[in-house]
Structure 1
Amino acid sequence: MSIKNIAEFITELKKIPKSKFSELYFRGHSDIDYQLVPGIYRTRNLINNEHNLFKEFLLRTSSDFLNDKSALEKLVKMQHYGLPTRLLDITTNPLVALYFTCSEKGKKDGNVIAFKIPKKDIKYYDSDTASIISNIAKRDNKFEINRIKGLTVKEFNDEDEIAYLIHEIKEEKSYFQSIIDEKDIERVIAVKVKQNNGRIIKQSGAFLLFGISGKKSIPAKIPNDWILNLDLKGVDFKIDNDSKDEILEELNVLGISEATLFPELDNQAKYLKKYYG
């Protein structure tokens, strides 16, 4: 049965058990069939040119990145301006996820994905694991570890593929120890980033950061047991397509709208034009 209003949505939220070993995050999809992969993996051309996209964006807008020292900070800003990256937006606020589920009305029901992410897989913006995965964005489309998996730690880190990755990491962290665990390259982690962006603050935003599965063309997989919609029976966040406009009106009353979630001037103008038009 599809959710038709906020009251029904909250009823489903109340079914989620609390845990001291994990944290809850949410993501909204206007199309229930949307796949949980980051934008850079939407087409083969995009992932094959990730390193070019990263460098071209920086050289064209270098003055905008003067205060962004790490690859992760740069990816967050790129994501903010619509460039496909290996980040996937998530939020700690389920009503924000509900807004994004309802913000586009198509032919299909929407879906709010609820994530129960173990605390050990949640990292801060300055973590070494986040640096390892973020800097994969700078490596070319030939980057892969299938051939070298299973080597000793020393042998693994002596391989050219990893040596080049370590070189990229040391550009932002000179103190980084030249040791990478192969498992970190194939992980998905949740990242809490700096709250230095109005949109991130308003949206209670965080990100899933995707490594690779053996080779760069294949994204790492989100563990199934992170996804409450799959793991917890009886919880259903499917949103009725015909009720999306009504839910948006309810969210607006609660202070969640295009104007509050997108605080930039052009979005304020867009919202007011729609509201008074």
Structure 2
Amino acid sequence: MTPSTWAELHDLLFADPWPERAGRYHATVVHRGMSEAAHALLTSVQRLGRAERESDLLRNFRKYSRMPFSKQDSDWEWLTLAQHHGLPTRILDWTYSPLVALHFATADVARHDVDGAVWSADFLAVHDLLPQALRAELEASGGAQLSVETLARVAPTLADFDALDDEPFLTFFEPPSLDERIVNQYASFSVLSSAHARTDDWLARAATPLVRRVVVGSALKPCVRERLDQANITERVLFPGLDGLSRWLTRYYTSPPRT
């Protein structure tokens, strides 16, 4: 799908593609914005080309980090912290907000000459395919997504997680609110039970439609960016602090004039 106007794009992203799954105020869809539509849903450790070194990366991150947690018996808090601070991991970042996803599809003004995309995934339908132990834990928690605590109760380590099923499976979980960035970005994380498996391949092979991709055409990107800035969906909000302020000012003063 490639909408040609801001109104078409907005309505398409905010119309729940699986309305029978939604509840009041609670869509069952998460979104991921990408600056180039041609890019696949690869994790950072896959883009690095070293998925086989995942355990080494995480082990040394724990080794050289200050201990921010009260316990050390779960990989999930460490994996979340590592992802949050830029370590290559098997996690993919998503957001509940279509506008936040559009920010990440349009923030790089140097790529406004290529199409971007917003991927949307139905996480409830994904969770219907979870191994029984995780499904039971999710139902017992009363939530729609797992947390690091519920994941740790079933599978304290990534090795335990991978061993829950012979075939790779996908799950979404809400990261703990480590700082304002996670809160402001309305974040959700996805993780596959294999560092090597690709999320887009897994979603495409599912028996029911679990994913949708909306292309944000290059010609539409400047308009989308302007609307987002007017709505205060900017680096200054999504990356609170001086780093975000610097990103926002850099983009503002390097953006081409309106034509």
Same fold, judged at TM 0.5 (above): yes
**Aligned pair partner of 2:217 in 231, 236, 240:** 240
Cα offset, 1:251, TM superposition: 0.4
2:226 aligned with 1:249, yes or no?
A: yes
Please say which of residues 112-121 and 80-89 is displaced more in the overlay.
112-121
Query: Root-mean-square deviation (CA), in Å?
Result: 2.9
2:177 aligned with 1:124, yes or no?
A: no
**Aligned pair partner of 2:37 in 32, 39, 42:** 32
Cα offset, 1:260, TM superposition: 0.8
CA distance in 2, matches of 1:130, 1:100: 33
2:20 aligned with 1:19, yes or no?
A: yes
2:116 aligned with 1:110, yes or no?
A: yes
**Aligned pair partner of 1:223 in 203, 209, 213:** 203
Question: Does the CA contact (< 8 Å) of 1:188 and 1:211 recur in 2?
Answer: yes
- Give unpaired runs (5+ residues) of structure 1: 137-164, 170-179, 230-235
1:16 to 1:274, Cα distance in 2 relative to 1, 3 A = closer
Aligned twin of 2:157? 135
The letter for the 2-side match of 1:135 is: T
Aligned twin of 1:151? none
1:217 to 1:12, Cα distance in 2 relative to 1, 3 A = closer
CA distance in 2, matches of 1:219, 1:65: 31
Cα offset, 1:68, TM superposition: 6.9
TM-score, scaled to structure 1: 0.70
SS state of the match for residue 21, structure 2? Answer: coil
Greater Cα radius of gyration, structure 1 or 2? 1
CA distance in 2, matches of 1:130, 1:208: 18
1:101 to 1:50, Cα distance in 2 relative to 1, 3 A = same
CA deviations 1:64-109 (Å, max 9, x no partner) are: 5345743112111211221110100011101111111112243421
- 1:161-200 matches, cutoff 5 A: 165=159, 181-183=164-166, 186-200=168-182
Please say which of residues 251-260 and 263-272 is displaced more in the overlay.
263-272
TM-score, scaled to structure 2: 0.74
Cα offset, 1:269, TM superposition: 3.3
1:6 to 1:135, Cα distance in 2 relative to 1, 3 A = farther
CA distance in 2, matches of 1:226, 1:112: 16
- Give unpaired runs (5+ residues) of structure 2: 131-144, 255-259
Question: Does the CA contact (< 8 Å) of 1:27 and 1:114 recur in 2?
Answer: yes
**Aligned pair partner of 1:98 in 102, 112, 131:** 102
1:274 to 1:51, Cα distance in 2 relative to 1, 3 A = same
CA distance in 1, matches of 2:251, 2:197: 41
Cα offset, 1:42, TM superposition: 2.2
CA distance in 1, matches of 2:189, 2:58: 18
**Aligned pair partner of 1:51 in 45, 50, 55:** 55
Question: Does the CA contact (< 8 Å) of 2:203 and 2:211 recur in 1?
Answer: no
CA distance in 2, matches of 1:56, 1:64: 13
Identity between Structure 1 and Structure 2 (%): 23
Aligned twin of 2:244? 267
SS state of the match for residue 111, structure 1? Answer: strand
1:226 to 1:28, Cα distance in 2 relative to 1, 3 A = farther
SS state of the match for residue 189, structure 2? Answer: strand
- Alignment coverage as a number of residue pairs: 224
